[in-house]
Amino acid sequence: MRPAPTILHLDMDAFYASAEQAAKPSLRGKAVVVGGLGPRGVVATASYEARVLGVHSAMPTAQARRLAPNAAYLVPRFQLYRSVSEQVMELLGRLSPLVEPLSLDEAFVDLEAGGAADDSASARRTGERLRTAIRAVTGLSGSVGLAGSKMLAKIASEQAKPDGLVLIEPGTERELLAPMSVRTLPGVGPATGDHLRRAGMTTVHDLAEAGEDELVRLVGKAHGHGLYRMALGLDDRPVVAERDAKSVSVEDTFDVDLHDRVRVRAEVERLAVRCVERLRAAHRSGRTVVLKVRRYDFSTLTRSETLRGPTDDPTVVREAAARLLEAVDTTGGVRLLGVGVTGLADFTQEDLFAQAADARELAERAREPEPERQAPESGTEGTGPAGEEPESAEQLAARRWPAGHDVHHAAHGHGWVQGSGVGRVTVRFEEPGGPVGRVRTFRIDDPELTPADPLPLVRDPVDYSSWPASLPKSGSGPGSAAGEESRP
């Protein structure tokens, strides 16, 4: 435990939904839900306006629609979220060499390691300046927690939400934690929480009073020991700058179970290409290809194949995944498919062309000459494989024009898709930082309407090349005064 609150935890507020509200002036102050929109879709993030109505992350989208029927339901735009995340992480990196990202919108920072803080006053100033800088650069708000440990810093940022800063003074940890629910502590999920409740322990104070021996008896040695230390506010985990990824993977859940083997194979090959795109974006390669198949009865199968050496060749990964599919029985239907690569490395196999040729030869040998495994002929887009219903115009439109995604019209400029149906796509033409735009409807095949890349959320962001010295120290700039407090 540190004697000063020099560990900072940043958590962007309702990140995906807030980014959509900033990008779309017509959605400011309104309920926004980002996630999968199909029958099996799940909420990724809900704006605070939607949370008031009971919508939350990981909720089925169908349930969210019942709770908030008038909310805007949008498909995620990860290209935008990643670009904003890079801006935020660059700011954090200028504060300290020790930045531990947990996700696109969350990270720990060791302020002491970067000389950005050495006591409560300097930590608070740095936290305030960070919030000001984030809003100036991205237009979004983030909540900051400051404490002497990672556990307490994360608890503080949660208390600071939305758009606030909470600092926990070292020495006050036990007093702060005592009345909190046991679920507040890391690693205490619904099952463990219910087990402790049945033993008469509902607060952190109850855990501390029970003692280490009793907790070990209830939840086991490893978990009991850690749980007791956390109940006392003890956490000596360091901020780790490099969190090496162990795998890269992508997966899709389908609105309707897939039955046709040709379609299943096509989806596996598409996922393999997407997986390699992520692999290359991370400047990595991998040695083992993994296929994940969840069948109609929710049973999940995984198959893997280890290659001769690491690769980032899409042909190699695609054909390895296809070979793995040959050993999986998809009778009855498939509801989810995933392709991943593990055994990551920073280099690739030298002779990629030879490896790809070997993989193709093996694939041909393993593939049975069944007629239905032939790919659809070119020019048959939307007709679907044999034995499977062709995609309707509505399905094609939803696939090409996802709700919330960016478009450009030759005459009207930049806009975003509000929805599509009956052969039409409805677009609102507006840009970040501008006025609420007008809505127009077009045919789904209008040649003047094309998909587009997201626009920056802030048109002229502050130059933060000399951050943090050049930015206001405290009390100025948007968002610098909201939610600042110390705990206890």
Nearest to 151 by CA among 193, 126, 104, 184: 184
**DSSP states of 318-387:** HHHHHHHHHTS--TT-EEEEEEEEEEEESS--S-HHHHHHHHHHHHHHHS---GGGSPPPTT-TTS-STT
The CA distance from 381 to 383, in Å, is 6
Instruction: Please say whether the beta carbons of 132 and 453 come within 8 A.
Output: no
Six-digit token string for 426: 């409805």
SS3 40: coil
29: left (phi over 0), alpha (psi -120 to 50) or beta: left
Residue type, 234: L
Is 484 among the residues known to form the active site?
A: no
Instruction: Please say whether the beta carbons of 19 and 429 come within 8 A.
Output: no
Catalytic residue among 20, 49, 100, 106: 106
The CA distance from 72 to 65, in Å, is 10
Query: Going by DSSP bridges, is the β-strand pair 484-487/165-168 parallel, antiparallel, or unpaired?
Result: parallel
The CA distance from 221 to 164, in Å, is 38
Max Cα-Cα span within the chain: 73
Q: Please provide residue 350's backbone torsions phi and psi, each rounded to the nearest 5 degrees.
A: -65, -50
Nearest to 192 by CA among 179, 207, 178, 177: 207
Q: Partners of 439 in the beta sheet?
A: 428
Task: Give the residue numbers annotated as catalytic, written as ranges.
Answer: 106
